[in-house]
Amino acid sequence: MHSKTLALASRQPTPPLFRFVPLALILASAFPAQADVVLPEVEVRSTAADDPANPKVRSVSTATKTSTPPKYVPQSIDSVSVERALDYGQNTMAAALSGVAGVNNASDTRFDNFVIRGFTSSADLFLDGIRDDAQYVRDLSNVERIEVLKGPGAVLYGRGSGGGVINRISKQPKDESFGKVNLRAGSYGVRGASVDLNRVINEEWSARLNLNEESADSFRQFVSSNKRLVAPSIRWDNRQGSSWVLQYENAQNERTPDRGISSIRTGVTGAFQYALPTSIDRSTTYGNPARDFLRDETQSLRSTFNYALNEAWSLRHVLGIIKLDNQFENTYATSGVLNTGTGVVNVSRTRFTQDLQHNNMLNTFEVTGRGNWGGFKHQLLMGVELGEQERNVTLMSSTASSVTLSNPNLVTTNGALTVSSRNQHKVSSRGIYVQNQIDVTDTWKLLAGVRQDNFEIDSTNLLNNRREVRKVNALSPRVGVVWSPVAAHSFYGSYTKNFTPAGGGLIGITPGASGNDLSPEFSRQYETGVKSDWLGGALSTTLAAYQLELYNRRTTDPNDATRIILTGLQRSQGVEASVAGKLVSSWYLRGSMAVQSARVLEAEAQYIGKRPTNTSRINGSVALSYAPKLGLYGEIGMTYVGARFADRDNLLALPGYTRMDALAGYRWRATELQVAVTNLTNRDYW
């Protein structure tokens, strides 16, 4: 795949932001601040002014639910600026996380999905710390950055795959008035416009509004998309430690479902072989362009209230409601089979529709405090989480006529739709957790936490009124230590544990199915590494080594194919390295690389020794940018993704690839002119 983009920008002359807006013609217009607002005198002390061009982050929140410098987090965590993806006109999670070490994209046409350290993480997605595991493609227009915590995160967030936690940090009202307008255009019919308007109302209140609308075609025939987003928010801050933020977001995404080109199956039963259809035009599709559609509408309401009891202790309440309404109809290829006699590949297809409503509601109550107890400095976090989720889904399916791989006739007949499933799934989750960050000495820091979870799944098959309820209790600990013999280098080690109950990923169980009564799958990770600062703190690096295991893995009983047992084991071992920061004046570097070995060690005989799906041995990226405040700026970047297997049998390999991206622009006062190119060398890749 390949694309090229053009951009022009104009924006408000309050401190210039390093902004590469993708593919586009960008006009950012300054909105004058209110002249009658009088702010109180405020004394500000800082060691250095924030530099929006610098990829190094000062603090992260996902790892501890407190603002903590990354070097004191005894676990790997990446903070990804969403603007880097938007610079290239790519408004998806897949684009934003491309090249992050140890993270492989496994998203399909319907929803975001990632493999972290060999474990799928479609249900490990969060928005401002609120579980957001519904199946849809997320809009990033109202997102500031994405934090990826590698390894188990159950100690703070409850159940998960164990691969990691992906948390989107949204844009919130700020203490300065500004306005930006962005217009963009690019290849494959990309057109878009967005507005980001922030207003200081008075000394305690501020508000922000983000709007986005965009449309695009594709290098894929008959494939197009339309997105729109409205996200207002308001913030109150009494400047004495108490605050309240209320946010609403409505995002709509209508697009053509596209599942790509079918692989080619050869061989006989029991000895299948698969090949990539390399001779097929990349634009070839196999759906029904007159009928296929996919529509998501998501709404979220989030309230975060902080109340300062005194200088040391505070209370926090978070309410999050996320609702998804999804409908789609899709005719898609299921397999391409080579006729060895004629040489023709016939593609089988299936048609199905989905009507899905998914609702999440989360309440958390937390107490945080600092103090000196027992001769040590402590930062204590205690919390209670109450979650309710409901997923209602109706599927209808039918047959669809087969077509040829090279020249499909898309004006074909379909069978009558029949209801294949209609289910209602409800989840109630209760969690209580405590975490302590302890400064043992000036050079030793300890992080310890534990969480007790109660998970209940209630599933009903509405076609036969069969219902099943299952409850699970699990304890999830974490302990980590950081040693800083010198200020610039911090060595760390940690142990974390996770649990995955039946029905806790894609919400729901099948009433009466084998395995519903079993205890959860568990994962555990051992990680050690060193986080360092260089060039006087301008540049930071991380080097980490880990072993992550999923045990109690669900497998089929070798003596009874109808039974599920907990005897499986999957292990990932790897090394990751990352760098981010400022090299010299106006020159910046960011990058990461992972080398990992992921294997299924104990499972059904045919899977033992196999690599998990969509898991590359090596992946990473590096980007060098030149970003003065005014004048010419530019960036050159490279992303490498190693070979992956498309199936758990490891019969079809997707070859590795290297992609080059680049941009250049000119900035003067409030205006930018920019050109951005994705896949600079125009290389085809899978």
Instruction: Give the C-alpha distances (Å, rounded to integers) separating 255 from 24, 27, 218, 291, 393.
Output: 21, 27, 11, 12, 20
Structure confidence by residue, pLDDT tens digits, 338-358? 888 888 999 999 999 999 999
Q: Which amino acid is at 429?
A: S
Distance CA 118, CA 600 (A): 10
| Helix, strand, coil % in the chain, rounded to nearest 5 | 5, 60, 40
Instruction: Give the C-alpha distances (Å, rounded to integers) separating 675 from 27, 62, 242, 397, 422.
Output: 14, 34, 44, 45, 49
Residue 550: pLDDT over 80: yes
3-class DSSP state for residue 266?
Answer: strand
- Label residue 269 by pLDDT band (50, 70, 90): low
Distance CA 191, CA 185 (A): 5
Distance CA 101, CA 641 (A): 10
pTM above 0.95, yes or no: no
State the pLDDT at residue 266. 84
Residue 417: pLDDT over 90: yes
- Label residue 267 by pLDDT band (50, 70, 90): confident
Report the share of the chain in percent with pLDDT over 70. 92
Q: Which amino acid is at 583?
A: L
Distance CA 489, CA 541 (A): 10
* Residue that has been written with the tokens 């035009």 in this structure: 281
Distance CA 516, CA 533 (A): 49
Q: Which of 266, 251, 414, 275 shows the shortest CA–CA distance to 332? A: 414
- Label residue 42 by pLDDT band (50, 70, 90): very low
What average pLDDT does this structure show over 303-320? 97
Strand partners, 346: 337, 404
Is the dihedral angle over the CA atoms 81, 86, 92, 95 positive or is it negative? negative
State the pLDDT at residue 446. 98
Structure confidence by residue, pLDDT tens digits, 497-548? 999 999 999 899 999 888 888 899 999 999 999 999 999 999 999 999 999 9
Q: Which amino acid is at 289?
A: P
Strand partners, 360: 322, 389
Residue 35: pLDDT over 80: no
Structure confidence by residue, pLDDT tens digits, 573-588? 999 999 999 999 999 9
Q: What angle do CA 289, 294, 298 make, to 5 degrees?
A: 160
What average pLDDT does this structure show over 593-611? 96
State the pLDDT at residue 425. 97
* Tokens (6 digits) for 581: 């920061």
Is the dihedral angle over the CA atoms 369, 372, 377, 378 positive or is it negative? negative
State the pLDDT at residue 47. 37
Q: Which amino acid is at 630?
A: L
What average pLDDT does this structure show over 554-558? 91
State the pLDDT at residue 270. 65
C-alpha count within 13 angstroms, C-beta hemisphere, residue 258:
19
The domains of the chain, with CATH numbers, are 3-33+71-678 (2.40.170.20)
